[in-house]
Chains A and B, each alone.
Chain A
């Protein structure tokens, strides 16, 4: 995957040590098959535009502004520059407040992972000192940072030559597990447990990204590729005879669908068997 533009630029701080850093998301939807919305009648793309809610007229980009609702129909307009003046040091600085043992943050709180690196040669050494000290102590750092107009709790975990930053879910976003788990027995049947332990030990494997392949995406890509091909062929034929056109394309598609279904079914079978 191609490197991405930093999502956030700012500073990493430990006590009196400060270095410039950049943060990039670890995940992206850019390679997911996405469909556009089309107008059924014309086949053109459908796009969204802003209109004035009272006059009904389209509004040009330069007249669009963010408004903070002070009262009914009373808005204080804010520019992006204004928003940067919010008086929270966490808008620009990740100041590590605390360290906790590695692995002590519940997985259920982990929301979005980012990669943090030094953003300038001047910060390379300070960044390395902070990262290596965390690694040596087997701890992760706890801090906060403003992302997407919210202040988020974050965990900083040293990994390889960089730091993984996780935003954490807010307390009211994680449902209380007791409401779900309280009715489950604490005890278990020793025989049953050891039987399953044997199965687990037999099939223990290393993590591999192959475990998260997406057979449906592959099928969708194939569907799209085949449709494109069908369209090209039908276009080539148009010059000769327009009559055959539709029939050709349809029969082609039907065959593709059969093939796709088979390939997905096969993929499922092979997984079960392996």
Chain B
């Protein structure tokens, strides 16, 4: 635990039992490849600056305030203290309000994961009791608290020797799958086709370790840049052939036959077998300066 700093410290409470805990960031986000913005006519790099939309004068940070737009297009300034006053004081208590079976959680609400860890030795007994009760009942606890200046709902779930707390997105930030898929045509799939597809799936079953995945984009981009710099014509993407409804059965039959004979052979398309060089390069690329954020 040395070297890690808790993002939040407080108490985890279920029923009458509570223990002091810390939340630690479980995942960070690395940046995509950032390009430099260039002035095409001079070849110089671009810089971003903030200007007044009417007077066009440069506005320094200390002259920038928050505001919102009224219906008639005017702007009203808002005092940060007024916004702060809306945020309730935190009681630093993650108290379980309800429990939901693990399988019943709608995961599209997931935001960010945190490792939840007991703070003192004295808290271990309460912590392990909560952890094992959650895992024995296959339940997740729903708790709410003020976290990072917002009232956040947190999903608490036992994970190995510890507990993972996931912040959840708000109702207005998520479109439910039911709504998203309500206009999808209901298609009656022929049993023969379904059996063939199931067979194909059977030949492709395996394990997957997300930690070993490698991003091949950087290498592909470097090749493209090289070709362009050398004045070569860039390859046109090949047209993609879509399976027509009339050919679908045939495509499935051929796939099923083909997969049967080649199921044992390693596939060239499996990029996890990429060279070592790719690994170090892509790590380096992600260490590049962060992409510029528009404000």
- With most chain A CB atoms within 10 A of its CB, the pick from B39, B105, B251, B267 is B39
* Residues A113 and B107 in contact in the complex (CB < 8 Å), given A182-B161, A201-B137: yes
- Interface residue B242 (Cβ < 8 Å from any Cβ of A): yes
- Which of the residues B4, B99, B213 comes within 8 Å of A200, measured between beta carbons? B99
* Residues A64 and B179 in contact in the complex (CB < 8 Å), given A19-B242, A228-B71: no
In the bound complex, what is the Cα–Cα distance between A273 and B127 (angstroms)?
24
On chain B, the residues within 8 Å of A260 by CB distance are 85-86
* Residues A184 and B236 in contact in the complex (CB < 8 Å), given A31-B172, A51-B46: no
* Min CB–CB distance B273 → chain A (angstroms): 12
- Interface residue B290 (Cβ < 8 Å from any Cβ of A): no
- Interface residue A185 (Cβ < 8 Å from any Cβ of B): yes
- With most chain A CB atoms within 10 A of its CB, the pick from B54, B67, B137, B235 is B67
* Min CB–CB distance B183 → chain A (angstroms): 8
A177 touches B36 (CB 8 A): no
In the bound complex, what is the Cα–Cα distance between A195 and B77 (angstroms)?
53
Chain A's interface size range is: 35 or more
On chain B, the residues within 8 Å of A139 by CB distance are 201, 205
- Which of the residues A105, A115, A121, A192 comes within 8 Å of B181, measured between beta carbons? A115
A192 touches B59 (CB 8 A): no
B164 touches A43 (CB 8 A): no
A210 touches B27 (CB 8 A): no
A196 touches B175 (CB 8 A): no
In the bound complex, what is the Cα–Cα distance between A133 and B196 (angstroms)?
9
Interface residues of chain B: helix, strand, loop or mixed (majority): mixed
A189 touches B128 (CB 8 A): yes
In the bound complex, what is the Cα–Cα distance between A67 and B51 (angstroms)?
24
Interface residues of B in 135-176 (CB under 8 A from A): 136-137, 139, 141-142, 144, 150-151, 153, 157, 159-162, 164, 166, 168-176
In the bound complex, what is the Cα–Cα distance between A179 and B189 (angstroms)?
49
- Which of the residues B35, B48, B205, B220 comes within 8 Å of A67, measured between beta carbons? B35
B197 touches A97 (CB 8 A): no
Interface residues of A in 210-231 (CB under 8 A from B): 210-217, 219-220, 223-224, 227-228, 231
- Which of the residues B53, B187, B205, B206 comes within 8 Å of A46, measured between beta carbons? B53
* Min CB–CB distance B197 → chain A (angstroms): 3
On chain B, the residues within 8 Å of A200 by CB distance are 14, 99, 133-134, 137, 139, 141
- Which of the residues A42, A125, A201 comes within 8 Å of B189, measured between beta carbons? A125
- Interface residue B44 (Cβ < 8 Å from any Cβ of A): yes
27 pairs, CB–CB < 8 Å, chain A vs chain B: A14-B200, A17-B197, A36-B69, A37-B67, A39-B55, A39-B59, A48-B51, A66-B37, A66-B38, A68-B36, A100-B208, A108-B164, A111-B29, A113-B108, A127-B187, A162-B177, A171-B212, A173-B29, A177-B162, A193-B129, A195-B129, A199-B133, A204-B100, A205-B98, A211-B142, A215-B151, A224-B78
